[in-house]
């Protein structure tokens, strides 16, 4: 059973999604404002947040930003427009995925499962030991799932860590955005390249000295991204 915090101001949408999730066995708390959502975050301790962007008072973008100040709980944006610039900004502020409204309970559940599966820590099998990667001034430990720079541990969101581990495992290999969507995000359909771009932007802000001239996660113009060469 997944604990879901739904922040949605439209009463009909809120009630429909809440009932659908409850019927599927998910423990769901539904609130109408960003302020109420933030107040519910700690006591309810959700496994995932479904967040509408167009909220009265505090916007969904501000709610996303405030959640990320204290928590790495997965956030899935609910948006009425797939091309809305707010979706891109939300992803850059730490959201993990987005869903276009209206959406059936089945679609919402499928995307929730994909996000939770993707962000779940992957543990090595018994007896397995993989040496830390030490490119430049980074140390990436795929076993402990820790990343350090100059000896100082960095705080990476699960999606940022998964992307970094995937790219660093094959230095110099270039991957298209679609390949990264399929391998890291488990998305096989067109249209989510901004998930990759937003995650790269957040990751670079944490591991690069100069985001305009990245040393680690580099852009291959017209194709995608690669790790290095350093």
Which 8-state DSSP code applies to residue 131? P
CA trace torsion 72, 73, 78, 82 (10° rounding): 40
**What does the alpha-carbon distance between residue 224 and residue 218 come to, in Å, rounded to a whole number?**
9
The DSSP result for 180-213, as a single string, is HIIIII---STT-HHHHHHHHHHHHHHH-S-TTS
Tell me: the pLDDT tens digits for 14-45?
999 999 999 999 999 999 999 999 999 999 99
Residue 215's CB is within 10 A of a number of other CB atoms, namely 18
Q: pLDDT tens-digit profile of 170-228?
A: 888 999 998 998 888 876 655 578 889 999 999 999 999 999 999 999 999 989 999 98
Burial label for 204, CB within 10 Å (0-12, 13-18, 19+), is buried
Model confidence at 127, pLDDT cuts 50, 70, 90, reads: very low
Residues 2-11 pLDDT 10s? 999 999 999 9
List the domains of the chain with CATH numbers: 3-119 (3.40.50.2300), 138-227 (1.10.10.10)
pTM for this entry: 0.78
Higher-confidence position of 48 and 159: 48
The pLDDT, as a whole number, for residue 133 is 83
pLDDT band for 158, please (50, 70, 90 cuts): confident
Question: In the structure, what pLDDT confidence band is assigned to residue 128 with cuts at 50, 70 and 90?
Answer: very low
- Whether 93 has a pLDDT exceeding 90, the answer reads no
186/189 Cα distance (integer angstroms): 9
- pLDDT tens by residue, 43-70: 999 999 999 999 999 999 999 999 998 8
Structure tokens at 192: 């989510």
């Amino acid at each position: 059973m997944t604990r879901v915090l739904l922040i949605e101001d439209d009463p009909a949408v809120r009630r429909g999604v809440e009932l659908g999730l409850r019927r599927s066995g998910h423990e769901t708390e539904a609130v109408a404002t960003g302020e109420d959502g933030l107040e519910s975050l700690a006591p309810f301790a959700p496994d995932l947040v479904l967040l509408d962007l167009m909220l009265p008072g505090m916007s969904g973008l501000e709610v996303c930003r405030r959640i990320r100040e204290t928590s790495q709980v997965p956030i899935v944006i609910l948006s009425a427009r797939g091309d809305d610039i707010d979706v891109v900004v939300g992803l850059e502020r730490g959201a993990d995925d987005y869903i276009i409204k209206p959406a059936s309970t089945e679609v919402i559940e499928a995307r929730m499962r994909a996000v939770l599966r993707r962000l779940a820590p992957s543990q090595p099998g018994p007896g397995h030991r993989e040496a830390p990667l030490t490119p430049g001034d980074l140390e990436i430990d795929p076993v402990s799932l820790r990343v350090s720079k100059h000896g100082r541990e960095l705080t990476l969101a699960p999606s940022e860590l998964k992307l970094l581990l995937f790219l660093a495992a094959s230095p110099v290999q270039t991957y298209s955005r679609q390949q990264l969507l399929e391998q890291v995000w488990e998305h096989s359909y067109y249209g989510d390249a901004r998930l990759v771009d937003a995650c790269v932007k957040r990751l670079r802000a944490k591991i690069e000295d100069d985001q305009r001239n990245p040393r680690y996660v580099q852009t291959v113009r017209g194709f995608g991204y690669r790790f290095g060469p350093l």
